[in-house]
């Protein structure tokens, strides 16, 4: 705990930071009480606990206009107690060791049962051989086998007679006595076989460790802000601005817009992309990257891919790129209008020469290293062009929406 004395109140320590438009003050409990009694206008949102702010910079996020989803996510981080979480891990480690011990026991138990079942098989067979006088049966068959080269019809019939006598005698035996003997053998073995002490203990430990695992996951599972959901709410507001820009650049009134392709719905890959947009024009494309950056482009040009690739010219000069993240628009240059878009079957959406935007068919690879070649961006001071649109060097697209624009 910080030990900053309050000079106004003896033996009091500074505990709070009060921030408002006019000033920032460090207060003790008494200072805060007196101030509240005097003005009755101390807002709890303006207060920060000094100790908490000193230990965890996430607390300072409350004082800036950050996304609510992000704020909620980062405010959870100080709640993760290192000692308690590591203690839970140690408990699980101990349980895993115990499970390993019982697994070894269960393995030995299974090995014993294998030996046991084989012994049971042998025991039952011996009993049957005794009851059935099995050697007599085997002797008859062996005699036939031995005399196979000199076998005659008479010898065969004689042995068949022996077999008949054997089976007659077998079937005349006391079956109840045989049943009783076999039941006794099986019952004695069953009691041994059903004793699964190690397995039952292991089952109990598995249940316990699964429960502990679930409890720990609940404690440490962060509520990550959903980038795609956040994108939807942002882009709904920003789309109208894009429609206004398109209408002004085309000098036409937009009649309607239709979502013709959505990556997460239709497949974020080149063949699906070309399936939905081939032969279409007046398309607005909006992209969301893994970093949460939103950018895109509009062009009136016709998207007609070839296997060798070709540029398409925009004589209307209405094509433009944009970055919602930076709130910037990049119009096409007059002397570069013949390279508004680039269409190639094994590429994805590409704009400009060089490239201003190059997205390959997997929607992960590509670049925007040369933004400003075909589309004007000199009006903005861009330090790192290769990261400017995507938020990283590569596109890493996680969502793409394409709208067909229709004019009156």
Is 191 exposed, middle or buried (CB count within 10 Å of its CB: 0-12, 13-18, 19+)? exposed
Q: How do residues 113-167 score in pLDDT, each as one tens digit?
A: 788 778 878 887 887 888 788 898 889 888 888 888 888 898 888 889 988 998 8
Closest CA to 294 of 249, 355, 237: 237
Q: How do residues 88-126 score in pLDDT, each as one tens digit?
A: 788 778 777 877 777 777 777 778 778 877 887 888 788
Q: What is the token pair recorded at 187?
A: 């019952």
| Residues 341, 356: Cα–Cα separation, whole Å | 10
Query: Is the pTM higher than 0.85?
Result: no
Q: What is the token pair recorded at 323?
A: 């970055």
Q: How do residues 317-348 score in pLDDT, each as one tens digit?
A: 999 999 999 999 999 999 999 999 999 999 99
Q: Could you tell me the pLDDT band of residue 203, with boundaries at 50, 70 and 90?
A: low
| Residues 74, 216: Cα–Cα separation, whole Å | 19
In order of 315, 330, 393, the CA distances from 290 in angstroms are 34, 22, 11
Per cent of the chain over pLDDT 90 is 37
Q: Given strand 283-289, what is the order of strands in its sheet?
A: 254-262, 397-407, 283-289, 294-299, 320-323, 328-331
The number of CA neighbours under 13 Å toward the Cβ of 52 is: 15
Q: How do residues 218-260 score in pLDDT, each as one tens digit?
A: 655 555 556 666 777 788 889 999 999 999 999 999 999 999 9
In order of 291, 298, 314, 315, 339, the CA distances from 335 in angstroms are 33, 18, 11, 10, 9
CB-based contact 330:322 (threshold 8 Å): yes
pLDDT for the residue numbered 69 = 64
Q: How do residues 7-44 score in pLDDT, each as one tens digit?
A: 888 888 888 888 877 788 888 888 888 888 777 767 77
3-state SS class at 337: helix
**Where are any strands of DSSP class E within 186-292?**
254-262, 283-289
């Amino acid at each position: 705990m910080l030990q900053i004395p309050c000079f106004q109140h003896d033996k009091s320590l500074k505990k709070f930071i009060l921030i408002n438009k006019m000033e920032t003050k460090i207060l003790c409990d008494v200072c805060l009480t007196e101030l509240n009694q005097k003005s009755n206008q101390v807002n709890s949102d303006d207060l920060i606990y000094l100790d908490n702010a000193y230990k965890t910079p996430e607390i300072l996020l409350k004082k800036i206009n950050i996304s609510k989803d992000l704020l909620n996510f980062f405010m959870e981080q100080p709640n993760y107690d290192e000692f308690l979480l590591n203690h839970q891990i140690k408990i699980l480690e101990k349980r895993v060791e115990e499970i390993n011990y019982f697994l070894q026991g269960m393995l030995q138990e299974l090995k014993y049962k294998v030996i046991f079942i084989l012994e049971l098989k042998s025991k039952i067979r011996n009993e049957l051989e005794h009851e059935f006088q099995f050697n007599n049966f085997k002797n008859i068959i062996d005699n036939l086998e031995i005399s196979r080269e000199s076998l005659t019809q008479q010898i065969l019939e004689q042995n068949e007679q022996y077999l008949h006598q054997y089976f007659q005698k077998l079937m005349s035996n006391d079956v109840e006595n045989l049943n009783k003997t076999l039941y006794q053998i099986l019952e004695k073995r069953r009691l041994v076989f059903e004793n699964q002490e190690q397995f039952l203990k292991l089952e109990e430990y598995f249940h316990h460790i699964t429960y502990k695992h679930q409890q720990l996951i609940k404690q440490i599972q962060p509520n990550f802000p959903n980038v795609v959901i956040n994108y939807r709410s942002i882009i709904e507001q920003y789309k109208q601005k894009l429609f206004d820009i398109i209408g002004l650049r085309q000098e036409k009134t937009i009649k309607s817009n239709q979502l013709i392709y959505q990556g997460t719905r239709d497949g974020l890959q080149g063949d699906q992309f070309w399936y939905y947009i081939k032969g279409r024009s007046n398309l607005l494309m909006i992209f969301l990257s893994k970093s949460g950056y939103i950018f895109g482009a509009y062009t009136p040009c016709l998207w007609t891919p070839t296997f060798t690739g070709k540029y398409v010219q925009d004589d209307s000069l209405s094509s433009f790129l944009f970055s919602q993240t930076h709130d910037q628009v990049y119009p096409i240059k007059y002397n570069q209008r013949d390279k508004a878009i680039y269409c190639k079957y094994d590429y994805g959406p590409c704009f400009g020469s060089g490239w201003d935007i190059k997205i390959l068919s997997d929607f992960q690879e590509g670049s925007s290293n040369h933004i400003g070649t075909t589309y004007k961006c000199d009006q903005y001071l861009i330090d790192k062009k290769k990261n400017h649109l995507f938020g990283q060097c590569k596109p890493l697209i996680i969502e793409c929406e394409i709208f067909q624009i229709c004019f009156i």
